[in-house]
Structure 1
Amino acid sequence: MLPNVERISVSPVFIGRGSQMAALTDALERADGGQPQVLLIGGEAGVGKSRLLEEFEATAVARGSTAVVGNCLEVGAEGLPYAPFATILRRLHRAIGPELDAAAVGRESSLARLLPDMGEAPPEAHDEYARARLFEHTTQLFEQLAADRTFVLAVEDLHWSDRSTRELFAYLIRTLHRARLVLLATYRSDDLHRRHPVRPYLAELERLRTVQRLELPRLARREVARQLAGILSPDRPKAELVDQIFKRSEGNPFFVEELAVASQQGCRTGLTETLRDLLLVRIETLPETTQTMLRLLAQGGSRVEHGLLAAVVEATGTLDEDELIDALRTAVGANIIQQTSDGDGYRFRHALVREAVSDDLMPGEVTRANRRYALALEADPTLVSTDQRASRLAGYWYCSHDAARAVPAVLDAGREARRRNAFAEQLRMLDRALELWEDVPAEVRDTLRDYDHADESYPACSCEGGCDCAGDCSAIQLVDLLAEATVAARFSGETDRSLRYTKRALRLIDEKKSPERAVWFMLARAHALSYDVGARPDKEMLEALGLLEGRKPSAVLAELLHRQALDGMLGIPGREHLDCARRAVEIAEQVGAASLKLHAQLTLGMLHCSFGELEEGAALLAQIRERAEAAGDVNLLSRVYTNLSSHHETQGRSREAAEVARTGLAMIRANGMTGYSGTIILGNLAEPLISLGELDEAERLLAEEPDWSGQRAHRDFMHRLRGEIALLRGDVAGAAEHLAEVRRVGVLWQPQKYVPTSLLAMRIAAAQGRYAEARAELVSVLDRGRPEGHDRSWWALLAAGAAVEADARRLPTMAPGQAEILDRIRCTATGLTVELPLYAGWQAVLDAELARAEGTVTTAHWRRATDALAVLECPFPRGLALFRLAESLAAEGDRAEAAQAALLAGELARKQGNQLLLDDLQALTGRARLAPPTTATQQEDDETFHLTPREQDVLKLLALGRTNRQIAEELFISPKTASVHVSNILAKLDVTGRGEAAAVAHRLRLVATR
């Protein structure tokens, strides 16, 4: 609409960003090779982030890449959900429409939540799974697009980002591992105050291997001189002017530009030291009509469409169409505003300018301007894009302080945000509705009806005229808003806020008149409390059950009974939990809650297995799996695969557990549910892989864990698995760090969590020779009692406790209480099942360890253990039993057989990756002077000082002078893991430094010489 104008304040010369451009170019080269790169570009306002991005974008395009930028938008003080990604998709659609459409096939309904042009989103997808599906499908889209050429996707102004945008951006970073893609984000570092949500977000991202963080410094004096020369060309700036502008701008490029223009216009005397005054001085030199237009533009948001601005200006009656065009031309010519990249609107050239103009308005002007924007948008909704319409209208009405108009608007925006699975933004809108609710006239509230709740189990009002709705139960009540906010808070991971909403709602509800609603909020509170360490709302659940006893069957009652059964399954199951599960199944069938019925049956099957009723439980689990697959219920299927894989691993069928978990993971990824249930299924796949000795794959899987707040209940599980891998690799200190994280973040009241955690703690303490701590850990678990259904963990825990006592048998400090602890171990083991081969093997190991602790162990004890474990597919604990057998045979003087047992133990230890056991075997071989038959594998190990294949790879790079970080990058491992490998190498080679290790590598010809 407007012709190009000369930008007299922008330097045509790109100044002082050589190192940053080099880093970006290097990232582009890596991305060309199929390694996705992420760069976070920070700096204070006006330091040149956007200019750097523009220059790099031009470089990337010149090299054949596709570069697209999307901006985070600000409406009032809030960002719009997914705004930059909607812009990116829109621009890609214009640039490579057919290619984008082809890549989006099969994902249109999810991607339509970002860009309506992609298709039509299903109206029923209002849950966390659809949100996760959106994230997964977006990832798959970019992965497919970036398969053949490099894409540069940039998100500008991350400091204005909404939470959903940040989570989607982080999800892309964590899940895109093989794509020709460069992800960029810019942010204002000076806006990130201590409580700004982006501050911890950036710190978390920076920990990832693929993420680089670039901070743009201010310009030096010589760089300011070059910038001024470009701006003032052909006049060369005088040294006096350079000194003055450098001093006052402090090297901020934007300040330099503003001061340079001011110097050209002869406005030096009016300038103040603050940016606000500086910017307002420039604006006050413009015609009054232009200033009027800028004041209105400032209230429209970070960008305003031309049609919307024209409608607002027309409503004021101050400017006609021609005057508006002249005002816009003047503002663009003065470089105060610029056209948006898509050419359909305007934005201030720098957000600081808009902030200064907005801050200078009187409160009445702000209210009136926002009201005019709202009225204009209501009169013609096509003035803004569909994906922004509801949020923009809600923002305008909210800032106009008109509660009667604002509440319906924010409720509509909340529905729209939920439809797009932007739960954090939905929650913000609901908060605004709750804030303004009491100011809404009663006649307006009565018109708000038929709110479509995300949780279908939320009961309709059954007060029959006995509550605050005054008999009109179709009208939205305050408790309805609180219910929806409770669900949005839960989906957003805002546990504290969810608790606040439920507390407020329960104060409003009369339990006698609306018992089902009261119980619904009690269940919601119990769900939130389950995320807190040690929080077990058993008493409240009993009170809730009392409210519904004797009433007609309902979905709420079925859910309440199922919740009690589920808590028992995850905690300390009793026969009463079986009864609860059965009743939940019956009631769910009566009220037609088909999905709830299957969930309750699944819980019932797992409870049968907990009580050793394996055939009945297994039959029910198989039945549920078949029905879930037939129904295509992905929510239920994710739980089926999770529970089945855990069940198989518990029973020692690790290979089968891995297969089920792998199938479940594929299903979850195919349905876009990785963000919601991906963590637990990743853990359930990694755990049997660890049992099978496939540590590299397990470690890779754990690195893919999505860091979602909704998954925090499983963070202790993931850290424990990482700790187990670290311990197996011999990194005891690293294992201890992960253990500390388990206990910091963990929900450790469940036996399935605290028993394996204590087992890891005992093994770490024993590896460090802290036997008293290991004993104390065991005692703390024994004092809790032994619940049903966790026999595998208990066998391993008790055997480890007996081994600690055996290892410390001759220590005077451990003698007191040793007999008592051994008796407690025996007593606890009584009643554990031995029907499964794994459990029978553990029983034999425990018997042998108890005998070793009492000094009565014989070779026969360990032969029984190794024979019992011979049928298992997992290398542990058979490798441990063979080591003890070798130790016992060596003590009896049978070195030949001891050597053979040690050889077999070593093969299993290497298969498992158990470096601690290998170290013990090496020590035993040296002490007993064992000379086992040399195998080809062992011969190779001898030539390379028993270095593992991974350690040999690290040594090769070490010999080439690589740093730990460079080694990590080349081998796709973390710097910490690389450091551990280097330490192990130095120890095995018996050298004191990297130089000596390099010399050994060259001597062994592990490094090619030229």
Structure 2
Amino acid sequence: MVNDLLACHHRQMGGVLVGREAELDRIGGALVSARGGASRCLLVTGEAGIGKSRLVAEAVGGLTSPDGPGDVLVLTGHAVDMSTGEIPFGVVADTLRDLVRVAGVDVLLPAEREALASLLPGAPPRRSVERVQLLSTFLDLLERLGGERLVVWVVEDLHWADSATRDLVSLAARTLPAGLVIIGTVRTDDPDRTPAAEAALRSYVAGLARTPGCEVVPLPRLSADAVQRQLRDLLGSRPSAEVAGRVERLSDGIPFVVEELAAAAGRPELTTAAAVAAGRIGGLSSEARRLVEAAAIGDGHLRASLLEQVLDVTPEELDAALVEALRAGILTTDHERDTVGFRHALLREATVRETGPGARRSWHRRWAEVLEDNPGVLPPDPALLAVAEHWHQARDVRRALAATVAALPAAERVCRPDEETALWTRILGGFAVLPDASEVAGMPLREAYARALLASGIASHPVRRACVTAAPVEQLPAAMRLIHAMVVSDHGKGEANAYSEERLTEIADLFEESEPDLMAVYAWSSAGSLMTDDLARGERLMERARRAARELGDLRASVMVEARDSYRAQVNGDPQRAAHRLREALDLFGDERWDGVFHLWGNLMWCELVCGRHDEAQRAADEALQRLTHPHLSVHLWEHLVENAAMSWILTGRWTRARALLQESEPWWEDDVRTSNAHLHLLDLLQSGRATGTERWRRQLESPAPGGAPVTDARAVLALAAVEAGDLAGMRTELAPLWGMDRMLMYDDQLWLLVLLAARSEADAAADGPRPDRDAGAAHLQVVDDAAARLRRHGALGEVWPLDLAAQLDRFHGRDARPALRAALEGWERVGHVPDAAVTHLSLAEQEAVHGDREAARHHLAAGREIAERLQARPMLARADALAARHALTSRERRTDAVLTDREVEVLGLVAEGLTNGQIGAKLFMSPKTASVHVSHILAKLGAANRTEAAATARRQGLLG
């Protein structure tokens, strides 16, 4: 019987592969390169039925020895299209199962078996192992195996993969340890895919394609000649012209459709692949039909032993049904792997369409029952999540509720926040329809609702909102309904602050006598963190919540309280206190690696940054990034840390470090409108003055992307781009919506940066001479000044912001700005804002020249130029040159020993020796053009008319040693 099955399987593979010689060569070339040490990642893309899996099977089929893995290890993981997406870690678990089958369980080291236990059949999971640890252990395993032999990891149907698999493939593709080849198949046409999912997949594939060592292998439709060759091979002879023409016309070059139409050659009414698939299913016996339907619902965990129980048949009856299904060209089987699968995903989709909704629910029920009765056949965590999914699809609310609660520990271990929150949405929905939901769930609604709020705290806003709105509001007591209303009204950062003080007081009063449970912790911290009138009571509520969370031993509750308390301090104008509290909390949490803890690290960076304490901010950045093992596996956390660390480095003039981190991070984001991308774009403008790609920020304003940069960042990029283009009217237009926004205090730390951008730009333009738009500039500055008066000031940095603004207003109106500029310069140097100090030096150079102190003007001009050169800030250098020319600040008598950089002194020495630019470049390993730039800067700084005069001045001033 087994041989019969395998023979059927071989016949249904479609005969000889035709028309794919070039693609086979590309995959073969990648494998050859990998043997030579150049690991590769290939994405085989194309529409359904184009032959992606068949191509990969052909390419890797001859790599392994029948007696064992030999020097090549081919591992395969399959993603499966379930109604809510792939079960988390399903592909990884499938790959591990294949590894153990091929190489034996001893291929895993003890530490690997322990860390991956929740993904190995028959192994009890360790609760302490979390998502990132699982992923990093799997990555390390691939690297270790790749050091012993060539490893080919095939990921089938990557378009259906869960977020963990996509993250893993991304990281493996970008790091590509030696000895690894990744081959993923990606379906590019799925009518059931939502526009958002389609955009995310397209972005994901495009991001991978940009990665060195990764390439896309698109499969086009077959040519007419290739269709005829395939048809002849399938039929065993040359078909009639009528049949050949019909198949060629209807198949449209899709190999799977050619196979289906060839199978239906005797039935001309079957003119499409869908019709042929339906015809195949309709021609089955009742036993085989039941098998195919059950397989369609259980795809992803099809084991022969499980199918016997799902169908309630004997092994002999199962074999008979399998033979019929294989002969009908619907199923395939792998005896060695003990698996059954569909010959093609389109056949599974056709089966689901041909199966009525009642039958689908019935099969989901059977799969749930059988998986529950057979623990250990599937890996523990995927099994728990699969059972919950099947009961949910069976529409058995009672069993679904119990199964979903049972799956929560697995979700906490392996799911992303959005995925875990989706389970809580179902749980709350169960309470809405079951009168005894508390008994079924093993917890009262009060606890379930509180835990759902905690779990959803770091989920995306749409998912969080769907979760809380699923709660049965009519069952909530009055106090909890107030909390519910507040959570539902929260549309984003700071929105809940609009909740009235009266309502917050009412919440506090209603929960005054509550026992210290999770709901009380949530209520106390919600009311306490948002109270603005009775700050003393807010402080007491926060302390009460803190003590209760710690007594309950709930990490998530404790993190929530600390996050809210620090946020409370920051929005109340005391980020220094927020930073102090965050440091105390992080010391308490120690080495905890939960996502929420890393959010606290990012918040700590920002609190230190807006206080001007950049040394502390950067120490926090270094520690957090060091703790985040494999940061690419926690992209949302990584970005939170990256954006704040990079901002501190930009403000303090550590632009090389900021650029390196931002450029390293940029390819990992799924879109290009993140805050980190905005920081990188701003850095580009500051250094080059060129504005490219600004249209993406305009799109972000018109249609904000989830997780994208906030409005302040997008408008900052557009405003600075306008300034660099000399378009002050454009800058005013970009910034105008910010000065009257409803939630200014939520963004005041960022708005101060834009206040100074606007004020400096208007003042610089006014200093250049009379302008026809002066009145517009004056009106704009009045609006900016009024807006700044409403913004709060934080720490040492808060002392400098208004000083700089006052100085720019003085400059614009022609008043003596030197006192304010000197105070601002002292402040910028105190907090370590190097670029701001440079800009202020140049403004002081202008003011000193205007008021007749040319020596002081030259000093400030030289100081500003030196920083600008170090930062490679061309716009700043251009301004310095313009100031020097306008005010004739190039006197040859000025001292320059504190002005020339070390590199310029080195170049000046070679100029004094009479070397040309080309000779200088060759001697100092730079291009002649770079040498010329250095010489030009030296002449300008020394006030020399030519190279000879520069050398003489240098000797006279002792600059050449």
With normalisation by structure 1, the TM-score equals 0.73
The residue number in structure 2 matching 1:310 is 308
Matches within 5 A, 1:202-213: 202-208=201-207, 209-210=210-211, 212-213=215-216
Residue identity matched to 1:508: E
Code of the aligned partner of 2:154:
A
Q: 1:65-84 counterparts in 2 under 5 A? A: 66-74=73-81, 79-84=86-91
Residue 219 (1) aligns with residue 219 (2): no
1:525 has 2:484 as partner: no
Taking the aligned partners of 2:595 and 2:485, their CA distance within structure 1 comes to 23
The 1:346–1:804 alpha-carbon spacing in structure 2 relative to 1, beyond 3 Å, is closer
Matches of 1:350 and 1:414, distance apart in 2: 33
Q: 1:940 to 1:45 in 2, by over 3 A?
A: farther
Question: How many Å separate the matches in 2 of 1:792 and 1:433?
Answer: 39
Q: Deviations over 1:296-324 (max 9, x none)?
A: 54554366321223334545xxxx54454
The letter for the 2-side match of 1:882 is H
Q: CA deviation at 1:70?
A: 1.0
Q: CA deviation at 1:667?
A: 1.7
Q: What is the alpha-carbon distance in structure 2 between the residues aligned to residue 48 and residue 271 of structure 1? A: 25
Q: Distance in 2 between matches of 1:637 and 1:404?
A: 35
Q: Letter of the aligned partner of 1:155 in structure 2?
A: V
Superposed, 1:749-760 pairs within 5 Å as: none
Q: Which residue number in structure 1 is paired with residue 120 of structure 2? A: 115
Q: Compared with structure 1, are the counterparts of its residues 906 and 217 closer, same or farther at alpha carbon in structure 2 (3 Å cutoff)?
A: same
CA distance, structure 1, for counterparts of residue 816 and residue 142 of structure 2:
62
C-alpha distance in 2 between matches for 1:558 and 1:937: 60
Assess, with a 3 A threshold, how the Cα gap between structure 1 residues 555 and 242 changes in structure 2: closer, same or farther. closer
Q: CA deviation at 1:929?
A: 6.9
Q: What is the DSSP-based 3-state SS (H/G/I as helix, E as strand, rest coil) of the residue aligned with 1:185?
A: strand
Per-residue CA deviations over 1:823-860 (Å, capped at 9, x if unaligned) read 97399579987984x66666664454333212234778
Q: Could you say what secondary structure the match of 2:7 adopts?
A: coil
- How far apart are residue 86 of structure 1 and its match? 1.0
Among 661, 676, 681, the alignment partner of 2:621 is 661
Shift of residue 329 of structure 1? 3.7
Partner of 1:769: 726
Residues 271 and 278, structure 1, Cα contact 8 Å, conserved in 2: no
Within-5 A mapping of 1:436-455: 448-451=440-443
| CA drift at 1:415 | 6.0
1:915 paired with 2:855, answer no
Count of equivalent residues:
893
Q: 1:882 to 1:67 in 2, by over 3 A?
A: farther
Aligned residue type for 2:878: D
Letter in 2 for 1:909: A
CA distance in 2 between partners of 1:567 and 1:174 (Å): 45
The answer to whether the 8 A contact 2:121-2:380 is kept is yes
3-state secondary structure, aligned to 1:219: coil
- Report how far residue 872 of structure 1 moved: 5.9
SS in 1 for 2:875: helix
Q: In structure 2, do the counterparts of structure 1 residues 771 and 697 end up closer, same or farther at CA, with 3 Å as the change threshold?
A: same
From 272, 279, 296, give the equivalent of 1:274. Answer: 272
Moved more, 402-411 or 335-344: 402-411
Letter in 2 for 1:583: L
**1:992 — aligned with what?**
none
Q: Which residue of 1 aligns with 2:340?
A: 346
Q: Give the drift of 1:608.
A: 6.5
Instruction: Provide the residue aligned with 2:260 in structure 1.
Output: 258
Query: What is the distance in 1 between the residues matched to 2:256 and 2:184?
Result: 20
Question: Is the 2:49–2:254 Cα contact (8 Å) retained in structure 1?
Answer: yes
**Does the CA-based 8 Å contact 1:71-1:155 persist in structure 2?**
yes
> Residues 661 and 412 of structure 1: is their aligned pair in 2 closer, same or farther, counting only changes over 3 Å?
same
Which residue does the alignment assign to 1:88? 95
Letter in 2 for 1:306: A
Deviates more, 1:552-561 or 1:204-213: 552-561
Partner of 1:46: 49
- Note the 1:851-866 alignment, pairs <5 A: 851-857=810-816
Q: Are 1:688 and 2:693 counterparts?
A: no
Counterpart Cα distance in 2 of 1:305 and 1:359: 23
The DSSP-based 3-state class of the residue aligned with 2:691 is helix
Matches within 5 A, 1:690-769: 690-703=650-663, 717-730=675-688, 732-734=690-692, 736-737=694-695, 739-740=697-698, 743=701, 762-769=719-726
Matched, 1:507 2:473: yes
Shift of 1:330: 4.8
Q: CA deviation at 1:821?
A: 3.8
In 2: Cα distance, 1:409 partner to 1:119 partner? 18
Superposition pairs for residues 133-152 of structure 1, below 5 Å?
133-139=133-139, 141-142=141-142, 151-152=151-152
Alignment of 1:97-496 (within 5 A): 101-102=108-109, 105=111, 111-115=116-120, 120-122=125-127, 130-139=130-139, 141-142=141-142, 151-161=151-161, 163-165=162-164, 168-169=167-168, 172=171, 176=175, 181-193=180-192, 195=194, 198-208=197-207, 209-210=210-211, 212-232=215-235, 235=237, 241-262=243-264, 268-269=266-267, 272-279=270-277, 281=279, 293-294=291-292, 297-298=295-296, 300-301=298-299, 304-315=302-313, 321-332=315-326, 335-340=329-334, 342-357=336-351, 359-360=353-354, 377=371, 380-381=374-375, 386-393=380-387, 408-409=402-403, 412=406, 416-418=410-412, 420-421=414-415, 448-451=440-443, 459-460=446-447, 480=448, 492-493=459-460, 495-496=461-462
Q: Deviations over 1:72-118 (max 9, x none)?
A: 2346786433222211122234445689634x83x766533433567
Q: Deviations over 1:803-838 (max 9, x none)?
A: 2332343223222672894697399579987984x6
1:339 Cα shift? 1.3
TM-score, normalised by the number of residues in structure 2? 0.76
* 3-state SS, counterpart of residue 649 of structure 2: helix
Change in Cα spacing, 1:641 to 1:285, as seen in structure 2 (3 Å) is closer
Shift of 1:518: 3.5
Give the secondary structure class of the aligned counterpart of 2:231.
helix
Give the counterpart letter for 2:94 in structure 1. Answer: T
Residue by residue, what CA displacement relative to the aligned partner does 1:706-740 show, whole Å, maximum 9, x if unpaired?
Answer: 9999x99x976434423322321335534744654
| Structure 2: distance between partners of 1:627 and 1:342 | 51
> What secondary structure sits across from 2:628 in the alignment?
helix
Equivalent residues of 2:642, 2:661 under 8 A apart: yes
The separation in 2 between residues aligned to 1:297 and 1:747, in whole angstroms, is: 38
- Summarize the Cα distance change of 1:274–1:834 in structure 2 as closer, same or farther, 3 Å threshold: closer
Q: 2 CA distance for matches of 1:583 and 1:137?
A: 42
Look up the SS of the partner of 1:505 in the other structure: coil
**Aligned partner letter, 1:218:** R
Indicate how the Cα distance of structure 1 residues 296 and 830 shifts in structure 2: closer, same or farther if over 3 A, else same: closer
**What is residue 562 of structure 1 aligned with on the other side?**
525
2:2 maps to what in 1?
2
Query: Is this contact kept in 2: 1:306–1:344, CA < 8 A?
Result: yes
For structure 1, list consecutive stretches of 5 or more residues without a partner in the other structure.
461-479, 569-573, 957-983, 989-1010
Displacement, 1:49? 0.7
Tell me the distance in 2 between the aligned counterparts of 1:255 and 1:830.
Answer: 67
- The answer to whether structure 1 residue 14 and structure 2 residue 17 are counterparts is yes
Q: In 2, distance between residues paired with 1:577 and 1:295? A: 63
Q: Pick from 807, 818, 835: which aligns with 2:764? A: 807
Q: What whole-Å deviation, never above 9, does each CA across 1:854-895 have from its counterpart, x for those lacking one?
A: 223477876666566556644211221233344456668988
**Aligned 8 A contact 1:143 1:176 in 2:** no
Of residues 579-588 and 683-692 in structure 1, the stretch that sits farther from structure 2 once superposed is 579-588
Structure 2: which 5+ runs fail to align?
Answer: 909-915, 938-961
- Alignment partner of 1:51: what SS? helix
CA drift of 1:665 comes to 1.8
Q: Secondary structure at the match of 2:773?
A: helix
